Structure 1
Amino acid sequence: MNRRLTPNNNPIASQTSRYDEKQKLILTAATREFNERGVRGANLADIAAAVGLTTASITYYYKRKEELAAACFLEGIATYADINQAAIARAERGQRITALVDAHFALWSDIARQTRRRPILFDDIRTLGERVSPPVFAAYTGMFKQLRTQLFSGEPSPLSRGDQNARTHLVLGSLLWLPAWLPCEELEDYPFNAAGIADLLLRGFAAKTWQPDNATIMIPMPKPGPREAFLQAATKLINEHGYHGASVEKISASLNVSKGSFYHHNQNKDELVLDCFEFTFSVIRHAQNAGRALPYTGLDRLRATCAALVEYQMSSRGPLLRSTALAVLPESARREMIARMNRLSGRFASMVADGIVDGSIRPVDPHLAGQLINPMINGAAELPRWCPQASAENITDLYVDPLIKGLFCV
């Protein structure tokens, strides 16, 4: 009589199981390294050491670091797609946003309790080379389209496809921003914060009696010169390729100057990155100051400030440096930059509080409102990828007002 093969005594099944288990360990270790150092900054040797393998052994599973990064991104995209699908599938249309936000907060609650693996951050997704990026971009686009359908299907919608894309980008950006600020919150407050974020996304900031004024601001900028050109070029390249991908050679080449010219105007690349942060903070601070000086309601001042910063992101003067560059800074510099970013977030919260006082903004948590403003501004540079029709003329209606008035506003 033949002995029945089970997973425990089947050598082929056991070998496959060991392979899968080791592969999961590699993906976990790689995700941790990529989140801490970025795709370009991480190395296979450290990933291999974390799972007790040699670098050569890692290549049995993934021949190159980019292939491993692509696998981590695909795993992360699948994680979020599954969360979105499970949350919205069991919710009525009016409860979809609440269910979606609750599910994402639950993910980070489980991660904080170390009962769930942390997905890879998508900050470096565009650093992938053309050889491995197509399936990753296709998967991310699929997740985006799936979420758009989940949010806006079920009933005839007066919103155009462009409006739906902009609002899906706003929601997804807000959810992917959670790991940037949730670790600073008490775990016990997660359910309250989730309820507040869902309410803000659904109902917006505006009080029922608020009527928008035509408040606008111009962000004052220094006269263009060689120094400003290097700041702008470095910011664009770091946002697109990560710190390690934005080499001195690439920055210089984008300006058609030599490396000698780079070092004539900059001490080194690290100092240039700090200056890029300083320049970004300066732009935000100038916009906030100009907005606060307007003779309008608190919400009109906030709306004008957000619109100006979003327009800046999409203009020839932009973009602003993304927070992803923080990962490569020395610890002391990173702490200082994070503190600066938090102070600017606090200024947005203060503008929200001003609107609550004068009645233009309904009673909301200013801190949570600020945590929705940040990803909206941060994500504006990517908006044209989803909404080619986005422009300085329509960006307020298309992208800012759905946060001000509520996701389903017309």
Structure 2
Amino acid sequence: MNDAIYRLKREAVLRESGRIFSRRGYHNTSLDDVAKALNVSKGTLYNYVKDKQEILFECQKMALDIAERSFDYAEQNATNGADKLRLVIRQYIATLTEEMGACGVITEVGALRPADRKAIVARRDQFEERFVALIDEGMADGSLRPIDPKLAVYTFMGAVHAVPGWYSPKGRLPAEAIADGMADLLLAGMTAPGAASTVKTPPAEAKPKAVTRKRRPTVITAE
């Protein structure tokens, strides 16, 4: 198996494992459960991951990668703080639910190995700092009313972390509708009256879709 194929298969294992953890809970899911859900042997699974801890760490990294892509997207498609914040929240929620089934492991930082936990917490702190910077920008440019930035960030993340508890891909609303609705609700109490939108209109689309890669079928073999 060449390196490119191996990486694709390993990524498929990690993403599907994240979805399984989201549905069943990290502590309630064994590697046997993961192997069964992927329809492979446990031995085949060990070709791609060493243990549950590695899966947890890699899923945490994927979630933070999604957050960084969401910030980059917002910076490119809006010019005031309120609209950037709205796009970040929308893209983060939509992409998490589409790529990782709402990623129920994002709250399991405490279950990581100490070295892995330190690395994730450091990146998460940077994520929170970017959130605070956007809120500060919005208050400075008048698109957001005066608020406590840290309190706002914890409110956002509390709402996002609750999604795995109720989200279902077979539910009434698709991922993008959930992301739009949550972004609207979270921003409603923060946006300054009369603030004009600066979101760029994407070509040939009414609104931007989640920044996500096309999901490939999970096909894992023992090769």
Same fold at TM > 0.5: yes
Structure 2 counterpart of 1:238: 21
Q: What is the RMSD of the two structures over their aligned residues, measured on CA atoms?
A: 2.5
Which is worse superposed, 265-274 or 284-293? Answer: 265-274
Structure 2 counterpart of 1:379: 162
Matched, 1:260 2:43: yes
Q: Is the 8 A contact 1:327 1:334 kept in 2?
A: yes
In structure 1, give the amino acid aligned to 2:80.
Answer: T
Cα distance in 1 for partners of 2:94, 2:10 equals 23
In structure 2, give the amino acid aligned to 1:341.
Answer: R
- CA-CA distance at 1:352 after TM superposition: 1.1
Aligned residues: 183
Q: How does 1:91-130 map to 2 (within 5 A)?
A: none
Closer/same/farther in 2, CA of residues 318 and 252 from structure 1, 3 Å limit: same
In structure 2, give the amino acid aligned to 1:297.
Answer: N
Closer/same/farther in 2, CA of residues 389 and 321 from structure 1, 3 Å limit: closer
Cα distance in 2 for partners of 1:226, 1:398 equals 34
- Structure 1 or 2, whichever has the larger Rg, is 1
In structure 2, give the amino acid aligned to 1:232.
Answer: R
Closer/same/farther in 2, CA of residues 397 and 249 from structure 1, 3 Å limit: closer
Closer/same/farther in 2, CA of residues 338 and 242 from structure 1, 3 Å limit: same
Matched, 1:315 2:111: no
Cα distance in 2 for partners of 1:393, 1:249 equals 32
- CA-CA distance at 1:342 after TM superposition: 2.1
Structure 2 counterpart of 1:339: 122
Q: Is the 8 A contact 1:285 1:344 kept in 2?
A: yes
- CA-CA distance at 1:383 after TM superposition: 4.4
In structure 1, give the amino acid aligned to 2:147.
Answer: V
Structure 2 counterpart of 1:394: 177
Structure 2 counterpart of 1:361: 144
1:136-187 CA-partner distances (Å, limit 9, x unpaired)? xxxxxxxxxxxxxxxxxxxxxxxxxxxxxxxxxxxxxxxxxxxxxxxxxxxx
Matched, 1:272 2:55: yes
1:306-350 CA-partner distances (Å, limit 9, x unpaired)? 111222233255333434322322333323322322221111111
Report which of the two has the higher share of helix. 1
Cα distance in 2 for partners of 1:366, 1:247 equals 39
Q: Relative contact order: is structure 1 or structure 2 higher (C-alpha 8 Å, sep ≥ 6)?
A: 2
1:81-104 CA-partner distances (Å, limit 9, x unpaired)? xxxxxxxxxxxxxxxxxxxxxxxx
Structure 2 counterpart of 1:225: 8
Structure 1 counterpart of 2:80: 297
Cα distance in 1 for partners of 2:28, 2:166 equals 22
Matched, 1:306 2:79: no
Cα distance in 2 for partners of 1:399, 1:272 equals 28
Q: Is the 8 A contact 1:352 1:366 kept in 2?
A: yes
Percent identical residues: 26
Closer/same/farther in 2, CA of residues 379 and 244 from structure 1, 3 Å limit: closer
- CA-CA distance at 1:285 after TM superposition: 1.1
Closer/same/farther in 2, CA of residues 380 and 296 from structure 1, 3 Å limit: farther
Cα distance in 1 for partners of 2:18, 2:107 equals 11
Q: Is the 8 A contact 2:128 2:153 kept in 1?
A: yes
- CA-CA distance at 1:244 after TM superposition: 3.5
Query: Structure 1: any 5+ residue segments left out of the alignment?
Result: 1-223
1:261-287 CA-partner distances (Å, limit 9, x unpaired)? 211112332222211111111111111
Helix, strand or coil: the match of 1:394?
helix
Closer/same/farther in 2, CA of residues 340 and 360 from structure 1, 3 Å limit: same
